[in-house]
Structure 1
């Protein structure tokens, strides 16, 4: 019987290909991290025979998931990865991915939790979870609310490029919803800079007297803000900046949803 050149070949066969799949994924992880790598480097990091690494690389090259640099001879991620990755965002629904997190927030903080997106110059609430002690029963889903007077809206505004935000605000203006609504553009811009820096927005009675809300951004796979998640409650009992852990808990929830949308945590 001929001697085996690849000491891992029999193991892979017995494992029904599962081990090979796991190792192929390891290779993709290595190339994603390093940018490029040679067969020997990959084999050494994985702790496998060089022929095993070469065979797996050959399969990945055949699927265009990996390509070999003709000048350096090293391997890099191929265009097949981009093709696969680009198909994911369109199939992810932020409403679906966020639902469980919204319910968890509402149960933990016992207030109303909303998910909002930017649509047609408005902050549009696309999902909601109600806390057990919520006084109001208003259904905000589908409501169009002004960007400059809501916590979610300010998070979405702060994420826009300056010229895009300027065009939008010239179109909508800064109409007053309550005496507390910010109507001065310079003051609003200063607040938006603070929101970008701190990663959250708090609005107290700017949209509705007696209502306070705090919101954080949700990011997509390329780090763009695609939505905002907020917690709101009656001003007399809801003070997010003095409630220990609330803002940090909301931030963590926003990151959890972002990761579900393909965002890579820093």
Structure 2
């Protein structure tokens, strides 16, 4: 019976926390009691305990209760512990199973992308990419997916420092043309590499955002151009955007790409 009462108290405390979190200006004891059908004395006792531990605080002027800074402390620890590769892997595997193509996960570092995950798929495809290898941003779908969400001055600085070497005759080689494409990528929510990095290989990529809304990574599907037809790419776009959204959400980002 004691255990049952304890579980009930915890359940009520969580209900109160949820209720308080929904009201920016906080709630009073009576309002809480009315909304979750608990008597005021019980609500007050639970609130007092939550205040004691920092999960709830009381506004000294209004007397209303609102979320305490303890939640901020806990959430920051959670965010610090999030492992991008581990969080993304189930979604990358899902995409690999669906397409049988090569799947990449990269992070942005010092004006380049670094491959941190590569799933090979079941189809035969020879690519230069491998985990730990760096690649340019201007001619890869993952690089362009990240560039599109960086400030323009940062993009220009990267292009000026790294240059825009031609990897194939389809590589975008002027800053103006690339900046125009980045605008389109932001509108579409995905980026393409149409044999711009390697001949015979077409890629589609989406950006991945952290809890602050900052672009930190990108994921892509790569396949031979003969398999990556316009029809197939059109079908893959929505799946890629959905995957990018889901990974970003796991990192604490409120989705804005659709």
TM-score (norm 2): 0.91
Distance 2:149 2:91 in 1: 22
Distance 1:42 1:240 in 2: 56
Distance 1:67 1:186 in 2: 53
Residue 196 of structure 2 is matched in structure 1 by 206
Residue 75 of structure 2 is matched in structure 1 by 85
Residue 178 of structure 2 is matched in structure 1 by 188
- Report the alpha carbon displacement of residue 243 of structure 1 after superposing the two structures with TM: 4.0
Structure 1 residues 164 and 73: alpha-carbon distance in aligned structure 2, compared to 1, 3 A threshold: same
Distance 1:227 1:19 in 2: 43
- Report the alpha carbon displacement of residue 225 of structure 1 after superposing the two structures with TM: 1.7
Distance 1:45 1:240 in 2: 54
Residue 86 of structure 2 is matched in structure 1 by 96
Structure 1 residues 99 and 72: alpha-carbon distance in aligned structure 2, compared to 1, 3 A threshold: same
- 1:24-72 Cα offsets, whole Å, 9 max, x none, are 2333322332212222222233232222322222122111122111111
Matched, 1:174 2:164: yes
Contact (CA 8 Å) 1:102, 1:128: kept in 2 or not? no
Contact (CA 8 Å) 2:115, 2:129: kept in 1 or not? no
- 1:82-103 Cα offsets, whole Å, 9 max, x none, are 1111111221110011111111
Distance 2:217 2:20 in 1: 31
- Report the alpha carbon displacement of residue 129 of structure 1 after superposing the two structures with TM: 1.2
Structure 1 residues 249 and 228: alpha-carbon distance in aligned structure 2, compared to 1, 3 A threshold: same
Matched, 1:24 2:13: yes
Q: Which moved more, 1:24-33 or 1:227-236?
A: 24-33
Distance 2:139 2:238 in 1: 22
Q: Secondary structure at the match of 2:57?
A: strand
Structure 1 residues 244 and 174: alpha-carbon distance in aligned structure 2, compared to 1, 3 A threshold: closer
Contact (CA 8 Å) 1:92, 1:261: kept in 2 or not? yes
- Report the alpha carbon displacement of residue 138 of structure 1 after superposing the two structures with TM: 5.4
- Report the alpha carbon displacement of residue 241 of structure 1 after superposing the two structures with TM: 6.0
- Report the alpha carbon displacement of residue 244 of structure 1 after superposing the two structures with TM: 5.1
Distance 1:64 1:263 in 2: 25
Distance 2:230 2:22 in 1: 39
Residue 49 of structure 1 is matched in structure 2 by 39
Residue 5 of structure 1 is matched in structure 2 by none
- Report the alpha carbon displacement of residue 113 of structure 1 after superposing the two structures with TM: 0.5
Distance 2:37 2:215 in 1: 40
Q: Within 5 Å, give how 1:220-231 maps onto structure 2.
A: 220-231=210-221
Structure 1 residues 47 and 245: alpha-carbon distance in aligned structure 2, compared to 1, 3 A threshold: farther
1:146 to 110, 127, 136: 136
Distance 2:167 2:75 in 1: 42
5+ residue gaps, structure 1, are 1-9
Q: Secondary structure at the match of 2:48?
A: helix
Distance 2:69 2:178 in 1: 43
5+ residue gaps, structure 2, are none
Q: CA RMSD in A?
A: 2.0
Contact (CA 8 Å) 1:202, 1:212: kept in 2 or not? yes
Distance 1:89 1:235 in 2: 38
